[in-house]
Amino acid sequence: MKTFDVINPATSAVLDRAPDQSVAEAKAALEKSVAAFGMWKAKTPFERSAVLRKWYELIVKDEDTLAKMMTGEMGKPITESRGEVKYAAAFVEWYAEEAKRAYGEIIPTHANNKRMFATRQPVGPVYAVTPWNFPAAMVTRKVAPALAAGCTVVLKPAEQSPLTAIRLVELWVNAGGPPDVFQVITTMDPAAVSAVFFDDARVRKLTFTGSTEVGIKLYQLAAKTMKRVSLELGGHAPFIVCEDADIPAAVQQVMLSKFRNAGQTCVCANRIYVHEKIQSPFAEAMADSVKKLRVGDPMSDQTQVGPLVDQQGLDKVASHVDDALGKGATAMVGGRKKEGLFFEPTLLTGVSAGMRILEEETFGPVAPIVGFTDEAAIIRAANNTPYGLAAYVWTRDLGRAFRIAEQLEYGIVGVNDGTPAVPHAPFGGVKFSGIGREGGPWGMEEYLDVRYISVGLP
Ligand code: NAD
């Protein structure tokens, strides 16, 4: 069997090897997925729910193994990996329950001799492609609702994080899940393997989480066979701190938003807009917190910031910082590469329009602060991006909170909340951040087609 190396970004050493599956293997997986669909769809929602429930329990029990695997393959601190396992499991638990609630509607009739219903049916076999930054949660957030709805799934995880995905599929099978209903295919050649699914009209849905650049390509490929799509893409979150904000609370939450996963999340604050009246105390309090961050071995319980995932990721972070410093920003804290794939947690001030960090996803532990005075202007600046995933606003004025939240062109707005994502709420973006929602009943609708049944009475 062909394999590829899985690299531990904390040490740059080979952690393990994963199967490098071929186009022929992808075709075989597709055939099994198509063949299993009829059987899985025919199960009652209660039967599907029972398997999902068992899968949830096994994931929870496997927390330690999964967490170490995740930290090993992509470098997030172990305490965060444990948190991610709980978050990932919570999607499975929630959709185990939701499987039983895929209700339809009775439509008021226009004719006494007709009765009309809208029912739900599973979309069909699904092809799922996921990123490395949440190796467990990005899988369950897609796969749990798809399986609950009655779809079969072939999952292609990112090259950097195949091990967690393989383990999740093993646990599915251990839970009594039919192996052909949920399969994983790992490869170093995602384009060739994915083509098998894009070219086959029997695959009815593409669900993708990853960069906007790749998302646009896959959207076009999926159009050839008219697949339904869910696209969870990149973000560039503004974090607006108004003059009346609770500064300690805002600092505490921006730290979580920005430095979690070493800044490698799609919803992390990428532009911190702080009202000039409070900019100094805010920046000083944040600098204190950034200096205290413990960078190091992600397997240690003490570590808060681990390495970047790979050299490309590190180079991008360094280039954003160099660009900002070259154009007049100041590094209040950090600003340089450390050994290996580590980058110093960094706080930049004096950041202004025209710097790359305000336009592109940085995906690293770098927080740029930009001052503002005018509310209308800052809303315009916050919206002046192709992205529209998450935005945050901090204020104690309820009127201002609604005024700003309602004008932000984003799928998710946290008002005095730096961590709004939960399994039972809708997660997703507008504009170049994607199409569709994951989580809650919205996430299940993505895997259900509406079937209208009109019954003529004698
Ligand atoms: P990526 O787009 O490089 O890769 C994502 C996946 O696409 C991987 O599995 C990769 O193998 C696959 N892929 C790449 N090229 C392909 C091709 N030509 N054909 C088929 N598959 C292909 O993204 P990444 O670096 O893994 O993840 C980081 C990105 O994901 C960031 O932009 C981040 O914002 C985004 N993201 C978004 C969300 C969200 O919910 N909106 C969540 C997590 C990450």
Q: What are 336's strand-pairing partners?
A: none
Local confidence band at 63 (pLDDT 50, 70, 90 cut-offs): very high
Q: What are 240's strand-pairing partners?
A: 273, 393
pLDDT (0 to 100) of residue 180: 99
- The tens digit of pLDDT for each residue in 311-365 reads 999 999 999 999 999 999 999 999 999 999 999 999 999 999 999 999 999 999 9
DSSP string of 210-241, one letter each residue: S-HHHHHHHHHHHHTTT-EEEEE----EEEEE
Active site (annotated) includes residue 232: yes
Q: Verify whether ligand 1 is closer than 6 Å to residue 261 (CB atom).
A: no
Question: Could you identify the atom of ligand 1 that is nearest to the CA of residue 438?
Answer: 40
Local confidence band at 96 (pLDDT 50, 70, 90 cut-offs): very high
Q: Verify whether ligand 1 is closer than 6 Å to residue 234 (CB atom).
A: yes
Mean pLDDT over each residue of the chain, to the nearest integer: 98
State mean pLDDT over 13-39: 98
pLDDT (0 to 100) of residue 442: 98
pLDDT (0 to 100) of residue 457: 97
State mean pLDDT over 239-248: 98
State mean pLDDT over 138-160: 98
State mean pLDDT over 161-189: 98
Q: Verify whether ligand 1 is closer than 6 Å to residue 152 (CB atom).
A: no
46 C-alpha to center of ligand 1: Å? 33
Catalytic residue among 73, 93, 232, 361: 232
Q: What is the dihedral of CA 248, 251, 252, 256, to 10 degrees?
A: 170
pLDDT (0 to 100) of residue 214: 98
Catalytic residue among 84, 266, 438, 446: 266
Which residue matches tokens 């500064």?
Answer: 247
pLDDT (0 to 100) of residue 354: 96
State mean pLDDT over 74-97: 98
Active site (annotated) includes residue 151: no
Q: What are 117's strand-pairing partners?
A: 106, 453
The whole-angstrom separation of Cα 426 and Cα 258 is 21
Atom 22 in ligand 1: residue holding the nearest Cα:
190
State mean pLDDT over 71-75: 98
Q: Verify whether ligand 1 is closer than 6 Å to residue 235 (CB atom).
A: yes
363 C-alpha to center of ligand 1: Å? 12
- The tens digit of pLDDT for each residue in 376-399 reads 999 999 999 999 999 999 999 999
pLDDT (0 to 100) of residue 267: 98
